[in-house]
Amino acid sequence: MKSGLKIIHWIIFLWLLLAIVRFELIIDYLYLILSYSSLFFTDTPSAFAVQSFGLVDAFLSALLFLLIIPLILFFGKRFRFITGKLNFSFGFLIVLGFVFLFAPIISNENPDFSKNLSVTKLLPPLSSVKQFELKYDELSNLSAAEMFRKKSAEIIKPSFNENIIFADSVKLSEKIIYYQKNISYEIESEQIIDESGVPLIEEKFFLLGTDEFGRDLFVRLIYGTRISLTVGIGAVILSFVIGIILGFIAGYRGGFPDILLNRFTEIFLAFPVIYLVVLILALFGSSVFSVIIVLGVSGWMSLFKIVKSEVLSIKQKDFFSTAELVGLSKYKLLSKEILPVIIVPVLVNLVFLFSNVVLAEAALSYLGLGTGNTYPSWGSMISSGQEYITKAWWLIAFPGLGLILTLFSFNSSGRMLGRIINPRLRK
């Protein structure tokens, strides 16, 4: 009887935590989904007009969030992984997975939202400011699509909202007086959104502080995780496909392609690839897509070598020549006969590749050549935080810590996987 915490327990704990803390938001998302589907059936063209990436993202997250526990309970038995013992790196990887999949549920703020710089600039972690919202103009005769757009902007916060005001302190008298860096402003209390007559003044809490533009560091960290992982997954999949196919060709066929590919990998392995990556990104422009492609294309060599040597040895085995004689196609040979045999060493290599890619992406963003300023990224957060190093340590500490823990988790789980295939290292 195994005892102790298992990975599945940790998943359920995180799920429950998120479900309790973000209960209202999830309900809101479900409401949005319902109203969107009713809009879709009544007025299809305008339903297409109101959809955006953020909306689809939130819908998918909410649906997946509801489905994930039944899915795990149903299909979980197939993967012995989730009943394995929990340790730090697996735990952290699962947290990363949650952040990646459920970012809209963890926070519905926009990572680029910035307002009232004099109040929110460079706030330390765990600080809070007063926040209230001006009343919106009441528009009559809104169409269904416009109603939906207004409702969804309330739930999925846009990157700019003029009506939200941050203040250091607020005084309630006949008029409302609020202070922003010792400058006072007056406002009629009717202008503010209220709750049964009392003006609604909330505390806006910044868990990890704010950056130089007054943007919430926690939200940026969450969405930065997504960018890093997206780049990592994309590049690793690309490397996987290229490495497997070329390795199969080189090992199975031999001859000229083999010689050519060997020479090619030698160039790439005998050279600091970072310069080529920087060169290509600088010359051809950098975006999320180009970073994924360049990192994916520059990472397949070690995989190629593994696959090639494994294919060379499998080629001699009886089961493979039988499959060949039966007349399986090249694709079937690769996917049914070779892949299952080599999957574990390949997987280990992919895990290490993933941590290399995440590191490379962060380094490129640090140099200003990464995924651009469109999305927050750990590397670019650190590089912009370096300017404020004397004033704001948290700008570097949190993205840096996230990066270190991610790389550590991947490296150590890669090492654990490696021990499974290489029992010599097990003691």
Partner 1 sequence: MKSNIVKILFTRFLSSLLTLFLLVSFLFIIIRLSPGDPTDKYISAKLGSELSEKIAEKFSLNEPVTDQYFSFVANVFRGDMGVSYNYRLPVFEVIWEYFSFTFVFATISFFLQMSLSIGLALCVMKRRSKRLDNLVTNASLFIYSIPAFVLGVALIYIFSVTLNLFPISGLKSLDYDYFTFFSQVLDKLHHLVLPLITLTLAGIALFYKYIKENMDEISHQTFILNLKASGMKEDVILKKHVLPNSLRPLISVAGVELGILLGGALITEVIFGLPGMGRLTVDSILARDYPLVVGCVFTAGAVMIAANFLADIIKLKIDKRLVKGILN
- Residues that bind partner 1 in the complex, under the rule CB under 8 A: 263-264, 266-267, 270-272, 274-276, 278-280, 282-284, 355, 359, 362-363, 366-367, 379, 382-383, 385-386, 389-390, 393, 396-397, 400, 403-404, 407-408, 411-412, 415, 424-425, 427
- Which amino acid would we find at residue 253? R
- Give me Rg for the CA atoms of the chain: 26
- How far apart are CB 285 and partner 1 at their closest, in Å? 8
- Which amino acid would we find at residue 291? V
SS3 266: helix
Q: How far apart are CA 47 and CA 33, in angstroms?
A: 12
Closest to partner 1 by CB, 72 or 280: 280
Closest to partner 1 by CB, 101 or 407: 407
Backbone dihedral angles phi then psi of residue 219, each to the nearest 5 degrees: -65, -40
SS3 206: strand
- How far apart are CB 373 and partner 1 at their closest, in Å? 16
- How far apart are CB 362 and partner 1 at their closest, in Å? 6
- How far apart are CB 390 and partner 1 at their closest, in Å? 5
Closest to partner 1 by CB, 1 or 283: 283
Closest to partner 1 by CB, 68 or 278: 278
Closest to partner 1 by CB, 283 or 326: 283
- Which amino acid would we find at residue 312? L
CA distances from 256 to 119, 242, 268, 269 (A): 66, 18, 19, 20
- How far apart are CB 383 and partner 1 at their closest, in Å? 8
- How far apart are CB 392 and partner 1 at their closest, in Å? 10
**How many CB atoms neighbour CB 350 within 10 A?**
20
- How far apart are CB 221 and partner 1 at their closest, in Å? 14
**How many CB atoms neighbour CB 156 within 10 A?**
21
Closest to partner 1 by CB, 63 or 404: 404
- List the one residue out of 190, 213, 217, 13 whose CA is nearest residue 95: 13
Torsion of CA 100, 101, 102, 104, to 10 degrees: 80
Task: Determine the distance from the C-alpha atom of residue 79 to the mean position of all C-alpha atoms in its chain, rounded to a whole number.
Answer: 23
Closest to partner 1 by CB, 161 or 411: 411
